Chain A
Amino acid sequence: NAGVMQNPRHLVRRRGQEARLRCSPMKGHSHVYWYRQLPEEGLKFMVYLQKENIIDESGMPKERFSAEFPKEGPSILRIQQVVRGDSAAYFCASSPAGQNTEAFFGQGTRLTVV
């Protein structure tokens, strides 16, 4: 999974600030998925994107969270006005086109809201 690059690895934000998490998929992968892992919880799907398109955001909180995957550059998960409950590990995964292919995960961004 070293091919999926996430940065930063650790991010500390004060309540009310914005958090921006970046994900560069593996070379040749055009599908990106964001997951959130809360302490003592399993990984939870948030959003599925292809280049310039949000395909499924059914797992995204309705407010403050947004995601994009522009034609050029990494995918961005943006959290506005962070609260303590947003503290978690956020993982990005990528896969090539096609639904029966394995997704490879990045090392995650650990967000701490103080």
Chain B
Amino acid sequence: EDQVTQSPEALRLQEGESSSLNCSYTVSGLRGLFWYRQDPGKGPEFLFTLYSAGEEKEKERLKATLTKKESFLHITAPKPEDSATYLCAVQALNSNSGYALNFGKGTSLLVTP
């Protein structure tokens, strides 16, 4: 069975203190790994898609990387507005569900001034 585990569950950083969020996955063939950001009371906002080990993508202070077993979301010099829950999801190659995603429970990030 496909599994997605995110760690830590919660992370508190001071403004400017860089860190990484982890997403470990088990899937019988990876079609894609996705990162979303979710603010309280809102829907998930798409950040990145990674398709193969070794791939990296960047957007402002965020950088996502992928290996065969896990993905990292690196946050460089975070600001308070980066506070949110970050969700990781995988899509399996053998899925009949089109784009259906298997989500982790998320990492709740708080960045304090």
Listed in ascending order, the chain A residues whose CB lies under 8 Å from chain B are: 1, 4, 6, 31, 33, 35, 40-45, 48, 55-56, 58-59, 91, 93, 95, 99-108
12 residue pairs from A and B, CB less than 8 Å apart: A33-B99, A35-B103, A41-B105, A42-B103, A42-B105, A42-B106, A56-B100, A59-B100, A103-B99, A105-B36, A105-B43, A107-B43
Task: Given A106-B43, A107-B43, A108-B43, verify A56-B105 contact (CB < 8 Å).
Answer: no
The contact of A1 among B45, B51, B87, by CB within 8 Å, is B45
A31 cross-chain contacts in B, Cβ below 8 A: 98-99
| Chain B 96-113 residues near chain A, CB threshold 8 A | 96-106
B32 cross-chain contacts in A, Cβ below 8 A: 100
A105 cross-chain contacts in B, Cβ below 8 A: 36, 43-46
| Chain B 20-61 residues near chain A, CB threshold 8 A | 31-32, 34, 36, 41-46, 49, 51
Q: Is the CB of B102 within 8 A of A45?
A: yes
Cα A45 to Cα B101 in complex, Å, equals 7
Q: What is the chain A residue whose CB lies nearest that of B34?
A: A102
B49 cross-chain contacts in A, Cβ below 8 A: 102
Find the residue from B32, B49, B100, B101 having the highest chain A CB count within 10 A. B100
Task: Given A42-B87, A100-B32, verify A48-B98 contact (CB < 8 Å).
Answer: yes
B34 cross-chain contacts in A, Cβ below 8 A: 102
| Closest 5 A/B residue pairs (Cβ) | A105-B43, A43-B103, A56-B97, A42-B105, A42-B103
Q: Is the CB of A99 within 8 A of B99?
A: yes
